[in-house]
Copies of this chain bind each other. A is one copy, B any other.
């Protein structure tokens, strides 16, 4: 299980790092800027998760996650121009990341003894955190402010995983189902613009 968690962590780190490096390319940063954005975005969500759960921060004791971030940054610094539709790739990488971290954040919270509500919120927060700081630092519109489903996908990934685990399904199957649900939902958001009904009230007299 520990090996599986470490592997999923590395995958999530890599895709978030790629999304961070792609934002760096949109801002015409230099190689160190690519490394900074890849590292912050790549390990941001897992760092928040570990601080909240009072676990040792996963990339401090083990250099592999940072090595992955920096490798992704270097590769994209020299190759991002071959990607024609870079913002789309950024969205897909980010989408894989939120589905993975939605499951991972919820599962690690559950292993720490948290109940379902805390586990699902932990999945939601840690999945969206890396992308949030990436967008805030780079003055991009945070993806949570866009109309199509986003945080919803992290919630779906976490809720499906936690629901199946509490229903007695083996953890690996529950994790795959959770990831699939979250990622499929996000894919529908990116491709079809799928959205939940927004708040409909008037903006308020003193907006």
A interface residues, Cβ below 8 angstroms from B: 24-36, 39-40, 47, 51-54, 56-57, 59-61, 63, 66-67, 70, 77, 80-81, 83-88, 109, 112-115, 117-118, 121-122, 124-125, 128, 132, 136-139, 141-142, 144-145, 149, 151-152, 155, 195-207
A78 to chain B, nearest CB (A): 9
Are A200 and B47 closer than 8 Å at their CB atoms? no
Are A145 and B63 closer than 8 Å at their CB atoms? no
B29, B59, B137: the one within 8 Å of A132 (CB): B137
Copies in the complex: 3
Are A199 and B30 closer than 8 Å at their CB atoms? yes
For the complex, give the distance between the alpha carbons of A145 and B136 in Å: 12
For the complex, give the distance between the alpha carbons of A47 and B61 in Å: 19
Residues on the B chain within 8 Å of A47, using CB: 52
For the complex, give the distance between the alpha carbons of A69 and B200 in Å: 20
Are A205 and B84 closer than 8 Å at their CB atoms? yes
Are A52 and B60 closer than 8 Å at their CB atoms? yes
Are B124 and A36 closer than 8 Å at their CB atoms? yes
Are B25 and A199 closer than 8 Å at their CB atoms? yes
User: Nearest chain-B residue to A124 (Cβ)?
Assistant: B36
In the complex with contacts A152-B32, A201-B81, A207-B24 CB distance below 8 A = no
Are B57 and A54 closer than 8 Å at their CB atoms? yes
Are B60 and A118 closer than 8 Å at their CB atoms? yes
For the complex, give the distance between the alpha carbons of A10 and B206 in Å: 28
